[in-house]
Chain A
Amino acid sequence: MDETTAILVSMILAATPLLFAALGELVTEKSGVLNLGVEGMMLAGAVTGFAVAASGYSPLLAILAAALAGAAMSAIFALLTLLLLANQVATGLALTMFGIGLSALLGKPFVGIPLEKLPALPLPGLSQIPVLGPLLFQHDAMVYLAFALTLAVHLVLTRTRAGLVIRAVGENHDAAHALGYPVRLIRFGCILFGGALAGLGGAYLSLAYTPMWAQGLTAGRGWIALALVVFATWKPWRVLAGALLFGGFTMAQLHAQGLGIAVPPEFLAMLPYLATVVVLVAISRDATRIRLNAPACIGKLFHPDD
């Protein structure tokens, strides 16, 4: 594998956890809920996936357990914001901190245990294609899943009735309620989906990217995923592009250092957020663009009785 391909592959691998988490958050936000607890849910998934795998169970079980853990964390958020009508922003932040602490606590017995990485699954036939083969078709199952989910989320949100209802709930929950749709149930489902995907993103980190558990393994990727959803103006394909871009910034900076190009390492931490700010400015210049893309009811609490 020549060096350019290697750099591109590392970009894809770096983008995968971001892609999982951002896709989940996109669905949650499309239904009108702003869940800032992505970092906490990712860590919950990471520690659970690692714990299950390190205890000797199959990787598949570990991945499922991670998704369930992420969903469980988001269920707490759902209870607080949908039923008890707590402020979504504050609850999401609290969930993040809770997730960071809980995962550190639960992960203590698993620190320092080495684990076999998720095996790569080269797709027969496709992986032999000269350039695209190693680039796209020699990854492990979770990378393929991330790509498949991008397509699935796009199709469901734009082509199916269920997706239409989700978007309706996110645009105007009062109208959706008047039409008879169970707003809170739909939002609950979307929150759980978001949590499950965030859990998968975390599991990718602890099972495949760096197969180990360490406190705070996600190192801020949850926040990047949140920024990514806005960066992508709530469209799944743009989320994929954004994740690759963000992953690319990280890898490019490291490679640049290795090649001797003098880039201050502090720049690395800044770049993804700088890019988000730039994009936000760009899309805010035209107010209709924002109105068209952002779910109108995002962050607003829903009272079925008024």
Chain B
Amino acid sequence: MKLMKWAAALAVLAGISGFAQAGDEPFKAAWIYVGPVSDHGYSFQHDQGRKAAEAAFGNKLQTTFVESVPEGADVERVLNKLVKDGNKLIFSTSFGFMNPTLKVAKANPDVKFEHATGYKRADNVSTYSARFYEARAVLGTIAGKMTKSGVVGYVASIPIPEVVSGINAFTIALRKVRPDAVVKVIYVNSWYDPGKEAAAAKALIDQGADVIAQHTDSPAPVQTAEERGVWCFGQSSDMTRFGPKHHLSGVIENWNEYTIAEVKAAMDGSWKSHDTWGGLASGMVQLAPFNPAMPKDVADAANKVRDDIIAGKLNPFAGPIKGQDGKELLPAGKSFSDAEILGMNFYVEGVQGNLPK
């Protein structure tokens, strides 16, 4: 009997407190990351976006995040939990989260989802990504001028179109500056595995590479390059401190403005499903600060390529472009469409090795 009274009192209390909060409840948004925020790379930058939104909206916004969610069965479970927790806008920040995100979105039409680097949309699922390949074109220009051996090593993660288009844009720009240069690619089959990335970088350097680029999320390749005295480019965030003498530049993603805009739209009800693919011009992709050791003519060339891309004067995928076998894929005057870039599954001339299917 006493227990019943207790339970009843508690229920009433809960009801009252629920009532009291109903008026000024903050908007709840959540983020899931494929790696740890502390990767100081890809997931870190997404979390910067979340923090920017928190700073912009103060206590009108309540954010949660779940890090290190492996791309697989766990994603659905985590998303369902976040939906149950009352989140109304969820940022799904990795390509491999695509199908679970769509599935959960279908079951919960009142919750909005933002899928990063994906290509499938729904009424309540938007996609967003950055034109990383534009930054890669600038890096390729720098590599072309800095390489002596003509061999550039590329530590890649998984052979998806985003990675392949980056390799291709890099190679095209590289060979504009140094027509005989080649790019060797090693896939470590993971976005984040410092040990394998370091081993891959070592293997590439042992095979003659004197510039190392990466499309993986840890600073291990930069560290390895610095230790071996080889130039390198970082990925996702400024990795200068891991290679102060040899880190030339890198690709940095900036999701802050986009995140704030999407949260605002979700909060005031104007949210619509759309696709955003911002490049250097929109600021979603940026370049890490150039190393002071970079000669002025190289920095000038790089800046020119960057400015031309922003102004629309230079398209990293403008023809003529030849395939690996030397046959022309794209004649002069044409360029690859967005759809073709998003589905890119072949290498251009200058990339050594076979693309794993």
Which A positions have Cβ atoms within 8 angstroms of B? 3, 6-7, 10, 14, 104, 108, 111-112, 114, 117, 205, 209-212, 214-219, 221, 250-251, 254-255, 257-260, 262, 264-266, 268-269
Contact = CB atoms under 8 A, between A and B. Distances in A.
Contacts of B219: 112, 114, 212
Q: Is the interface of A mostly helix, strand, loop or mixed?
A: helix
Nearest to A260: B353
Contacts of A6: 202, 206
A89 to B, nearest CB: 24
Contact of A117 (B38, B39, B184, B227): B227
Interface string B189-202: 10011111111101
B127 interface: no
B193 A209 contact: no
A210 B206 CA distance: 17
10 contacts: A112-B241, A114-B223, A216-B68, A217-B194, A219-B193, A219-B195, A255-B203, A257-B200, A257-B353, A269-B189
Most buried by A among B40, B195, B197, B220: B195
B68 A215 contact: yes
A210 B189 contact: no
Contacts of A117: 227
B223 A210 contact: yes
B194 A255 contact: no
A114 B68 contact: no
B64 interface: no
B220 A212 contact: yes
Contacts of A254: 186, 188, 196, 199-200, 203
Interface string B4-21: 000000000000000000
Nearest to B209: A258
A107 to B, nearest CB: 8
Contacts of B279: none
B189 A215 contact: no
Contacts of B68: 215-216
Contact of A265 (B153, B188, B224, B352): B188
A274 B143 CA distance: 39
B356 interface: yes
A210 B220 contact: yes
Interface size class of B (residues with CB under 8 A): 35 or more
A243 to B, nearest CB: 14
Contacts of B192: 214
A210 B220 CA distance: 6
B59 interface: no
What 8 A-B pairs are tightest by C-beta distance, nearest first? A111-B38, A262-B354, A265-B189, A6-B206, A265-B187, A112-B40, A254-B203, A257-B186
Contacts of A205: 195
Given A3-B207, A262-B354, A265-B356, A257 B185 contact: yes
Given A114-B241, A214-B218, A254-B199, A3 B194 contact: no
B36 interface: yes
A111 B223 contact: no
A215 B206 contact: no
Contacts of B241: 112, 114
Nearest to A107: B38
Given A210-B223, A257-B186, A257-B187, A251 B353 contact: no
Contacts of B40: 111-112
Most buried by A among B36, B68, B153, B199: B199
B242 interface: yes
Given A114-B241, A217-B195, A265-B356, A258 B203 contact: yes
Interface in B194-237: 194-200, 202-204, 206-207, 218-220, 223-224, 227
B163 to A, nearest CB: 12
Contacts of A265: 159, 187-189, 356
Interface string B83-108: 00000000000000000000000000
Nearest to B237: A112
Interface in B215-269: 218-220, 223-224, 227, 241-242
Contacts of B186: 254, 257-258
Given A210-B194, A214-B192, A258-B207, 11 more contacts: A14-B199, A112-B241, A214-B38, A214-B39, A214-B194, A250-B196, A251-B199, A254-B196, A257-B185, A258-B204, A259-B353
Nearest to B220: A210
B160 to A, nearest CB: 12
Nearest to B227: A117
